[in-house]
Amino acid sequence: MKTLSENKCFGGVQGVYSHESTATGGEMTFAVYIPPQAKKGPVPCLWYLSGLTCTHENAMTKAGLQAHAAEFGLAIVFPDTSPRGEGVANDEAYDLGQGAGFYVNATQAPWAPHFQMETYIATELRDLVQAQFPVSIHHGITGHSMGGHGALTLAMKYPSQYRSLSAFSPIANPSQSDWGRKQLGAYFGGDESLWTAHDAVCLLKEKGWVEDILVDQGADDQFYDLLKPEALAAALAETKTAHSFRLQSGYDHSYYFVSTFARDHVAWHAARLK
């Protein structure tokens, strides 16, 4: 692991690091915020997965999570959204390929050799963070848009790994949305029965989630129809999953929305991870 930068931040340290990934077959960059409470011992860890076109840097610089993490004593991990670099497949469109990994393990060419983001996030990077940073075994996960999709699906696939779950405007039902059908078709092929394993609404009905879930959705989100929040709300009710689903009047899909409700999410996770 290489240290690219470390800066003092709200009494803690905001660092950016890189390492060679076995899962993705190349160098990956990620960021970790360690709060001041870690000086006394390991702290719980919150994972923040970002949306389409983002890197580790977007939420790190725009979401304002560090102040809240320092207040509540949580570490925060900001992974990248896809593999990158020479030899890694890409597409001219912003919503496929580099910057649009969708947190899945692709099975189709040309994506399969590098786009193994599910394994990378849930296993490889988790093990690295656990070994290299002062974090406890108690982890939670959240994310925005495509990252909200990733948070919901990974938590339901790996329930022993995550003790708390939330999402900001997640792509909730990608197998039924133009933000999903294109990507799932590319990464897994035309058999739509394979797509449901990467769809939060379908996973909730199949696997469920034993704890509660916090979801914030902007009522004026310009991508509302692509996100399918009504399908997620219906699935939460149908499966009788404890949840707080908050439709926030006047808010859109931007980081202004995320930063407005960031403290609520950090507090939510802190209460469940401690």
State pLDDT tens for residues 190-235. Answer: 999 999 999 999 999 999 999 999 999 999 999 999 999 999 999 9
State pLDDT tens for residues 103-145. Answer: 999 999 999 999 999 999 999 999 999 999 999 999 999 999 9
Q: Checking phi first, is residue 222 left (phi over 0); if not, alpha (psi -120 to 50) or beta?
A: alpha
What pLDDT does 19 receive? 98
Domain assignment of residue 22, given as a range: 2-273
Strands (E), the chain: 2-9, 12-21, 26-34, 43-49, 75-78, 135-143, 164-168, 213-218, 243-248
In a 3-state reduction of DSSP, which class is residue 169?
coil
Paired tokens of 85: 């670099």
Predicted confidence band of residue 153 (pLDDT cuts 50, 70, 90): very high
Predicted confidence band of residue 3 (pLDDT cuts 50, 70, 90): very high
In a 3-state reduction of DSSP, which class is residue 16?
strand
Percent of the chain residues past pLDDT 90, beyond the cut: 100
| Beta partners for residue 31, in sequence order | 16, 78
Could you confirm whether 127 is annotated as catalytic? no
Could you confirm whether 177 is annotated as catalytic? no
Over residues 9-34, the mean pLDDT reads 98
State pLDDT tens for residues 59-104. Answer: 999 999 999 999 999 999 999 999 999 999 999 999 999 999 999 9
State pLDDT tens for residues 225-260. Answer: 999 999 999 999 999 999 999 999 999 999 999 999
Catalytic position from the list 139, 253, 265, 269: 253
State pLDDT tens for residues 136-152. Answer: 999 999 999 999 999 99
Contacts of residue 151, defined as CB under 8 A and 6 or more positions apart, other chains included, come to: 47, 49, 141, 142, 143, 165, 166, 167, 170
Sheet with 26-34, edge to edge strand ranges: 2-9, 12-21, 26-34, 75-78, 43-49, 135-143, 164-168, 213-218, 243-248
Catalytic position from the list 21, 50, 82, 145: 145
* pTM reported for the whole predicted model: 0.98
Query: 65-72 and 255-273 are packed helices; what angle lies between their axes, rounded to 10 degrees?
Result: 20
Strands (E), 67-218: 75-78, 135-143, 164-168, 213-218
Q: What is the dihedral of CA 186, 234, 155, 100, to 10 degrees?
A: 30
Mean of pLDDT over the chain: 98
Predicted confidence band of residue 39 (pLDDT cuts 50, 70, 90): very high
Q: Checking phi first, is residue 85 left (phi over 0); if not, alpha (psi -120 to 50) or beta?
A: left
Return the CATH number at 125: 3.40.50.1820
The number of folded domains in the chain is: 1
Instruction: Tell me what percent of the chain is helix, strand and coil, each rounded to the nearest 5.
Output: 40, 25, 35
| Beta partners for residue 77, in sequence order | 32, 47
Catalytic position from the list 21, 138, 221, 269: 221
Percent of the chain residues past pLDDT 70, beyond the cut: 100
Could you confirm whether 253 is annotated as catalytic? yes
